[in-house]
Chain A
Amino acid sequence: MSVDVLHEPSVIEGRPTFHEINEHITKPTEVRPDRKYMIALAITSSLLALGATCMIITHWYGIGMWGNNNPVGWAFDIVNFVFWIGIGHAGTLISAILFLFRQKWRTGIARFAEGMTIFAVMTAGIFPLMHVGRPWLDGWLFPYPNQNKLWVNFTSPLLWDVFAVSTYFTVSAIFWYMGLVPDFASMRDRATVKFKKVIYSIFSLGWRHSNRHWQHYEMMYLILAGFATPLVLSVHTIVSFDFAVSILPGWHTTIFPPYFVAGAVFSGFAMVQNVLIFVRKIFNFEHIITLDTLEKMNKIMLATGMMVGYAYGMEFFIAWYSGSPMEMFVFVNRAFGNYAWAYWIMVSCNVIFPQFFWSRKIRRTIPLMFIIGVFVNVGMWFERFVIIVSSLSRDFLPSSWAYYTPTFYDIGILLGSFGLFFTLVLLFIKTLPVVSIAEVKAVIHGSQPTHKGGNH
């Protein structure tokens, strides 16, 4: 198959007019939800209700409802936390880092991925709040002068997490909202119902699409992208510190920070790809979220998957090379011990299956890429499970070794987290433009300002 090396596939297929773009992107927010949407929402909100019930029961009776035991003090709660924080990373990578790299193909998917970031961080945030056991005391996580002279432990990475995640959430939300402002204005101008018009007017902050507005907007966007980039890297880095600063074999290893970040981007892209496959199909966004875009996402998954594989290999090698019997034991135990099944799920889903993306055909076949994306998410969830649970269940004192089995409540809350995430995604689809109207207009073929006869 011959591919012209100079031919950069257009981000948007065809040459829709600006009006068509407006019509197309705002359509899901302007028509009444159909049956399919309602069924989807019913499923996700049922899951959410299940999760909420399990959470309330946990809240009432305490975290003894979970399968956590001694020595496995961290289990599903922290696994889910790290998993969901990781899912969030793709959004910022797409919206900020790819923006700094001037990757135009991000345009079609940036808004959606950013939205998913915010929902994922919200979902993730629930877990540490429950994990502390007495959620009504969570306010103490924030350091403030108080009569009890109680201070948080500033030397603990668990506290750094509080700062990192809350800062990350704030900046992501601002970044997302900022990008939405011009679209809110478009929605305002289109709104026919008074109620909608008022709401969109408020959120559009008086945006008039004037030249000056755009100048400020562009500058602000660049600055926020610059801020968000180190932030997104710092969040998963600090999550990795939660483990790596300890002295537990299998947790304490110096490669954790970049390895966690690569893994987060890996799983985040898999999730965004999975959800977008549905969105583009249901709302006929195939020309905006193109197959080329999906292929590029798959390439990034291949690259980050191999980074994760490199980290697995390096950890194993150094566990042996270090000559530390504890390190060696933990890694042999991971691969052949009581949680070997989880380990091999992790390796096959994260390292082996993504290798299929070497094939261009598979990268461009929607059902196959969807399946691999699901595998990646499963694998990345198990990666955290393997790191956390397998290391803890076989710690330094063999007399207290124990096997962790999740209870109904553990699984219920895990399902509930998916319910919360997808419910938020569904609500987002119906209320806000899931693709940036303004940005898409700028990348349609032929819409760029040109001089000298359109050479650039």
Chain B
Amino acid sequence: MSQQENNIVYTQKNLPSKLLTIGVVILIVGLVLAGASYLIDPVRASFNSLISMMFGLSVGLGILFIIGLEHLTGAVWSVPFRRVAEYLGGILYIVPILAIPVFLNMHGVFSWSDPAVIAKDHVLQGKVPYLNTGFFYIRFALAFIVLWFFFTMFKRNSIKMDSNPSESYVKSSKILSAVMMPFFAIFTTIMAVDWLMSVVPRWFSTIFGVYYFAGSFLAGLGALTLVVIMLNKRGYLAKGLGGDNYYSLGAFMFAITNFWSYIAFSQYMLIWYANLPEETFWFIPRLHTSWVWMTAGLPLIKFIIPYIFILSQPSKKDPKRLTIAAIMIMFGHYYDLFWLVMPAYHKEGFFFSWNELAFPILLIGATITYFAIVTKNKNLIPVNDPKLPQGINFHL
């Protein structure tokens, strides 16, 4: 609409300095715990580090996808949240650090990297052209370079618009988003196959990339929703946000919760029904040891509870309930990743101790610290985005 009045009420405010303190404290606690955990049992710590990395990557991927989707579809409701996403998505820069413990314990985590294991297994011998450490490192590096490139470009375009409100940035982001999508699909799949599926190197499932994508989309939405609501409640974002903007976040969480469940059900049902030993062996420890309780909890935590919780229209608009839903969804995704990976480390049954908390604490601390540092003296909304007024006045 041409005669849009610019009624944006926004003043740039710095986040409280205690946020940085909190972040650093959590980070230090996480580092100490993670270090202690590593000294006690490096392989176990590496597994935990892997899960945290894949979780952090999920959040980053999810947020990158949300940003890309906004540009691609020309959505307006998410424009006021985009700057938060652009800072929060910086988690993509952090997470590769969590791969270090894994790199130091490749044989312990990825049995295919051990020539002694390969020598005894003719199926794994056939996979060597893909599953070999050299190519594995290359794919890892390539994936992050590509994701960083797109993320950085989106962010740069967006921040440049703050000082130079030119539509060319909107257009260039739009083209970038379309170009990104195939790369995004390929590298999300590669990361899922390499870092989650190949933990059990004989197992395979064609839907696995989509499975990880669905979970990542959820994790990204959860993280964005949580941060946006916390900031908006305290007035760090533009005045008048909420209502239908929140509703859209809630509706997306609801939809993707269903999407994940659909994918997860399809994978499980088809493997269960066909009952082929080369696929079902992956589920055996998850169904015939104490892992079964975690298996039973997965649909509850990642589908049924969030489904009922976000189903109603008012709950999609209520910041309190959305906050709970966002936390639930992120917890659910961590739970899912733990369930995907850990039975490979410990087939005998479920286990849990402070060791399993070390790396998530480290990740949370690092993310808060990073967020507090990068947002210093910065706008938290894309102040001059031409779509911003529409986004703030968004009504269904």
Contacts and interface: CB of A to CB of B under 8 A. Distances in A.
Contacts of B1: 6, 454-456
15 contacts: A5-B74, A6-B1, A6-B386, A8-B74, A247-B274, A247-B275, A254-B266, A254-B270, A256-B266, A256-B270, A257-B207, A306-B185, A323-B123, A323-B124, A323-B127
B181 A253 contact: no
A246 interface: yes
Contacts of A315: 206
Contacts of B270: 241, 244-245, 252-254, 256-257
A237 B308 CA distance: 23
Interface in B247-271: 251, 258, 262-263, 266-267, 269-271
- Nearest 6 CB-CB pairs, A to B? A255-B206, A254-B207, A323-B123, A257-B266, A245-B273, A255-B207
Contact of A318 (B167, B182, B205, B251): B205
Given A102-B396, A318-B205, A237 B266 contact: yes
Interface stretch (B292-300, B340-348, B387-395): B387-395
B262 A233 contact: yes
B386 A258 contact: no
Contacts of A38: none
Contact of A324 (B5, B274, B278): B278
B64 to A, nearest CB: 17
Contacts of B395: 456
Contacts of A253: 206, 270
A314 B3 contact: no
Contacts of B390: 6
Contacts of A399: none
Interface in B130-181: 130, 167, 170-171, 178, 181
Nearest to B123: A323
B274 A245 contact: yes
A30 to B, nearest CB: 36
A319 to B, nearest CB: 9
B91 to A, nearest CB: 25
Interface string A414-456: 0000000000000000000000000000000000000001111
B182 A314 contact: no
Interface residues on B, range: 35 or more
Given A254-B206, A257-B266, A455-B393, 17 more contacts: A5-B167, A5-B170, A5-B171, A6-B390, A247-B274, A252-B270, A254-B207, A254-B266, A254-B270, A255-B207, A257-B262, A306-B182, A306-B185, A310-B189, A321-B204, A322-B278, A323-B124
A20 interface: no
A117 to B, nearest CB: 21
A193 interface: no
B276 interface: yes
A247 B271 CA distance: 10
Contacts, number: 99
A34 interface: no
Interface residues of B, dominant DSSP: helix
Interface string A74-109: 000000000000000000000000001010000000
A456 B207 contact: no
Contacts of A135: none
Interface string B193-207: 100000000101111
B207 A246 contact: no
Interface residues on A, range: 35 or more
Interface of B: 1-5, 74, 123-124, 126-127, 130, 167, 170-171, 178, 181-182, 185, 189, 193, 202, 204-210, 251, 258, 262-263, 266-267, 269-271, 273-276, 278, 386-387, 390, 393, 395-396
A230 B311 CA distance: 14
Contacts of B2: 6
A258 B263 contact: yes
Interface of A: 3-6, 8, 100, 102, 230, 233, 237, 241, 244-247, 252-258, 303, 306, 310-311, 314-315, 318, 321-324, 358, 453-456
Contact of A323 (B126, B209, B210, B269): B126
A254 B185 CA distance: 17
Given A318-B206, A455-B5, A306 B181 contact: yes
A401 B309 CA distance: 54
A306 B178 CA distance: 12
Nearest to A230: B258
A5 B166 CA distance: 10
Contact of B387 (A6, A230, A306): A6
A246 B275 CA distance: 9
A445 to B, nearest CB: 10
Nearest to B197: A321
Contact of B266 (A100, A247, A258): A258
A456 B391 CA distance: 11
Nearest to B263: A258
Contacts of B387: 5-6
A252 B272 CA distance: 11
A245 B204 CA distance: 16
Nearest to B385: A5
B204 A318 contact: yes
Contacts of A311: 206
Nearest to A155: B273
A227 to B, nearest CB: 13
Nearest to B189: A314
Contacts of A254: 205-208, 266-267, 270-271
A323 B193 CA distance: 15
